[in-house]
């Protein structure tokens, strides 16, 4: 069973996802946390503080895997009927894909995004989710709820994030919106 949890920045979506993972653990599942943001030396101090905050909040006995790019592959390798996989977050994963491939450069140039890495990874994740055994919890941002960004790259990213959320919501059994720390089940 896959669940998509969406919300804005600091909405409480990660905390909600972690509560669900703890409940799954109380029910007998082991938890593997798939972190899409690695504390790379290039990460700015604010991002490193965010990563540290997430690390400190989750139980130390949860296994953590850093998965900046090939998420579907990692999910398929670690999914089992006795495991809860928690992915936090798809927005950072999409950012990684934008900059690992040509999507960011294409967006900056005003070109149509034709980045095989980006599209192949999203398609692989979309195809994998319904087939995975066990529990899968995905956290993602709703980035398009504010003003339309001025920069091409930001607009292209917001568009792709919205499309990603729609595609995954279609294949997940449950979709929950978190706002002000309150979960609202959409599907």
Element at 177 (helix H, strand E) = strand 174-179
Q: Using CB atoms within 10 Å of the CB of residue 180, give its burial: 0 to 12 exposed, 13 to 18 middle, 19+ buried.
A: exposed
Tokens of 103: 């999507």
Q: Within 13 A of 146's CA, how many CA atoms are on the CB side?
A: 11
Is residue 53 part of the annotated active site? The answer reads no
Per the residue annotation, which of 54, 61, 70, 78 is the catalytic one?
54
Q: 55: left (phi > 0), else alpha (psi -120 to 50), else beta? A: alpha
Q: Where in the sequence numbering do the catalytic residues fall?
A: 54
């Amino acid at each position: 069973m896959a669940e998509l949890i969406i919300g804005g920045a600091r909405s409480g979506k990660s905390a909600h996802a972690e509560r669900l993972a703890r409940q799954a653990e109380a029910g007998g599942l082991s938890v593997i946390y798939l972190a899409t943001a690695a504390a790379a030396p290039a990460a700015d101090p604010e991002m490193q503080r965010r990563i540290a905050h997430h690390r400190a909040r989750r139980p130390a006995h949860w296994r953590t895997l850093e998965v900046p790019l090939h998420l579907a592959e990692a999910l398929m390798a670690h999914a089992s009927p006795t495991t809860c996989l928690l992915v936090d977050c798809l927005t950072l994963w999409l950012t990684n894909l934008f900059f690992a491939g040509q999507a960011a450069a294409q967006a900056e140039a005003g070109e149509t995004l034709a980045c095989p890495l980006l599209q192949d990874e999203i398609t692989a994740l979309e195809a994998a989710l319904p087939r995975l055994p066990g529990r899968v919890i995905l956290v993602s941002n709703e980035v398009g709820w504010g003003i339309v960004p001025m920069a091409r790259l930001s607009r292209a990213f917001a568009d792709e994030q919205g499309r990603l959320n729609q595609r995954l919501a279609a294949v997940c059994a449950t979709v929950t919106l978190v706002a002000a720390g309150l979960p609202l089940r959409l599907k």
